[in-house]
A and B are shown apart, each in its own frame.
Chain A
Amino acid sequence: MSAAGVVVVGGGQAGFSVVQALRGAGYEGPVTVFADEPRLPYQRPPLSKKAHTEPEGLGVDLVPESFYRERDIDLRLGEYVAALDTAACAVTTGSGERVPYEHLVLATGARNRPLPVPGAELAGIHALRSLDDALTIGRALSTARDVVVVGGGFIGLELAQVARARGARVTVVELADRLLSRAVSPQLQEHLRERHERDGIRILTGTAVERIEGKGGQVHQVVTGQGPLPADLVVYGIGATPRDELAREAGLAVDDGVIVDEQLRSVSDPRVFAVGDCARHPHPHADGLIRLESVQNAMDQGALVGRRIAGGAAGPYESLPWFWSDQGPVKLQIAGLRASTDEVRVVPGDSDTLERLAAYAFRDERLVAVETLNWPAEHLAARRLLQQDPPVSPTDLAGSTLGALARARRTKEVRA
């Protein structure tokens, strides 16, 4: 039997990042990746953002096939892991093959929460997670006239804008009283709503979907607490749950995600790591354990675990979290983690049009998170300054921007 090496379960951004870092840091043992989709790992962010208006932007591989071949990475496309035996340090695949490991990395991602209403099984109702989903929605949009988007979060609003750009009449139905209620500060929620409404998207907040009705098996209307909405296409994005059942069935600690320590190791088994959407982890910017669903988190966690297994230098996981969402013409970017109690100050980036905005969140007189609209430079400055000492205080920012502050600090460093 060949030596047991690293087995990675999952072929998304996190799993890819693990193997890239492993080989990049000089790991020479066997590396096997189980990717349950039958295609090379691909870029996920475009799926909801520009996919349906630019279909050629879909399905862009992260790296070509030769990358895996040249680095001797055994990429098992279309194969999944059915069970995990931590006592024997082996996984069992869907076809019954047992593969031993020295280190196991769970990068299984998350799955969409299903739409919990009668009629959800009708044709013409879709959620978005994979490339196939994006292609399906893209095709449906070429004929759809009345689109109902269930869920006013990142994905829902991105898809609403995409559908609108394709000429459909679009209604967003959100159960909470506000859009993006968990993702951005209340100060920006109203602003974003106005932007979407100005683009012709109808938004119903505080509204429940009660059932979906069809004709001949095809979706026909969505019945909400505010009455029926005609629909020939329904897309929903109402959150995701981590794919943590392999870990749970193997007896590892799981609570809405695989519980890991600051090294991203399972608290139950030092030979098992978890990274990306499926990992619940400590973070210096968070109170307690958090689980983040973002490309940045997937890539940075994967890279840290890859380097650690390869024996390279790797401290605790403390990457600054950042997110972005292209909601039609609005580029929303977030750096840092905000708490609901933070004091938020909103500053326009241009005085007349309010096309650009920044919302600065402070906790105990320190800047902890920055949300920007259409202001990537300010976002990048925020990412820099949120990781520097001394922290930015409200006084530092009075009458200034983070961009100006970062430039000034950089000049000072150069002089010093």
Chain B
Amino acid sequence: MPIVIFELPDGTQRKVTADSGTVLMQAAVSNGVDGIVAECGGNASCATCHVYVDERHGELVGPPNDVEDEMLDFTAAERRPTSRLSCQVQVSDALDGLVVHIPEEQV
């Protein structure tokens, strides 16, 4: 199972095991990673599971889908080129070693 690293705004890292077939948001929440609020439970309804994919891994993860793309304009923290909603990122073995950064605020 792939290992994903969540880096908090203060620079500390949380290394978690993510289940293939779930989404990145779920890996964060079920491992108690702070800073992923996920108010809507992963329904692409709230934009409170915003993450910045590390620039090294931007291509690996790919771009947001259309709805997500629009929603990313209204996240609490600023949007950056590798912004994604973590509830829309499918976990697969290809993501092993992925680093994502958690923004300062979600709500």
Binding between chains A and B: yes
CB-based contact B45/A333 at 8 Å:
yes
Determine the distance from Cα of A173 to Cα of B32 in the docked complex, in whole angstroms: 42
CA of A326 to CA of B41 in the docked complex: distance in angstroms?
12
Chain B minimum-CB-distance residue to A63: B32
Are B74 and A377 in contact, CB atoms less than 8 angstroms apart? yes
User: In the complex the two chains form, is B74's CB within 8 Å of A406's CB?
Assistant: yes
- Chain A 91-133, CB-CB to B under 8 Å as 1, else 0, gives 0000000000000000000000000000000000000000000
* Interface members, chain A 31-47 (any B CB < 8 Å): 43-46
Q: How far is the CB of B107 from chain A (nearest CB, A)?
A: 9
Give residues in A with beta carbon < 8 Å to B.
43-46, 49, 60-64, 66-67, 70, 295-296, 299, 324, 326, 331, 333, 376-377, 379-381, 383-384, 403, 406-407
- Cβ of B71 within 8 Å of any chain A Cβ, yes or no, is yes
Interchain CB contact under 8 A, B29 and A62: yes
Which of chain A's residues has its CB closest to B34's CB? A24
Interfacial chain B residues near A299, Cβ < 8 Å: 39
Instruction: Check B73 against A407 for contact (C-beta < 8 Å).
Output: yes
A377-B70 CB under 8 A given contacts A63-B29, A63-B32:
yes
Given contacts A60-B26, A62-B29, A66-B32, contact A376 B41 (CB under 8 A): no
Q: Bound state CA distance, A63 and B14, in angstroms?
A: 15
Given A61-B30, A63-B30, are A384 and B74 neighbors across the interface (CB < 8 Å)? yes
Q: Is the CB of A377 within 8 A of B30?
A: no
Please determine whether B32 and A64 come into contact, CB atoms closer than 8 angstroms. yes
- A67: chain B residues at CB < 8 Å are 32
Q: Cα distance A227–B18 when bound, in Å?
A: 52
A–B complex contacts, Cβ < 8 Å, 25 sampled? A43-B41, A46-B41, A46-B43, A60-B30, A61-B30, A63-B30, A64-B31, A66-B32, A67-B32, A295-B40, A299-B39, A324-B45, A326-B43, A376-B47, A376-B67, A376-B71, A377-B74, A380-B47, A380-B71, A380-B74, A383-B74, A403-B70, A403-B73, A406-B73, A406-B74
Q: Classify the secondary structure of A's interface with B.
A: helix
B44 within 8 A of A: yes
A43 to B71, CA, bound (A): 22
A70 cross-chain contacts in B, Cβ below 8 A: 32
Q: Once the chains are docked, how many angstroms separate the CA of A44 from the CA of B32? A: 18
Inter-chain CA distance A333–B41, complex, in Å, is: 15
- Measured between beta carbons, the chain A residues less than 8 angstroms from B40 are 45, 295, 324
- Chain A residues with Cβ below 8 Å from B43 are 45-46, 49, 324, 326, 331
Q: When each residue 41-62 of chain B gets 1 if its CB lies under 8 Å from chain A and 0 otherwise, what string results?
A: 1111111000000000000000
**B residues 64-82 touching A (CB-CB < 8 Å):** 67, 70-71, 73-74
Q: Total A-B pairs in contact (CB under 8 Å)? A: 62
Determine the distance from Cα of A397 to Cα of B39 in the docked complex, in whole angstroms.
28
Q: How far apart are B79's CB and chain A's nearest CB, in angstroms?
A: 10
Q: Are B32 and A45 in contact (CB under 8 A)?
A: no
A379 to B29, CA, bound (A): 24
Extra pairs beyond A380-B74, A383-B74 (9, CB < 8 Å): A46-B41, A46-B42, A63-B29, A296-B39, A331-B43, A331-B45, A384-B74, A403-B74, A407-B73
What chain A residues lie within 8 Å of B26 (beta carbons)?
60
Residue from the set A63, A384, A407 with the largest chain B CB neighbour count within 10 Å: A63
With a cutoff of 8 Å between Cβ atoms, the chain A residues found around residue B67 in the complex are 376-377
Distance from B85 Cβ to chain A, minimum over Cβ atoms (Å): 10
Contacts of B71 in A (CB 8 A): 376-377, 380
Closest chain-B Cβ to A272's Cβ sits at a distance in Å of 27
Q: Note all chain B residues with C-beta closer than 8 A to A384.
A: 74
Complex contacts, B46 vs chain A, CB 8 Å: 324, 380
How far apart are A30's CB and chain B's nearest CB, in angstroms? 21
- Least CB separation from A47: chain B residue: B41
Measured CA separation A66–B31 after assembly (Å) = 9
Closest chain B residue, CB of each to CB of A407:
B73
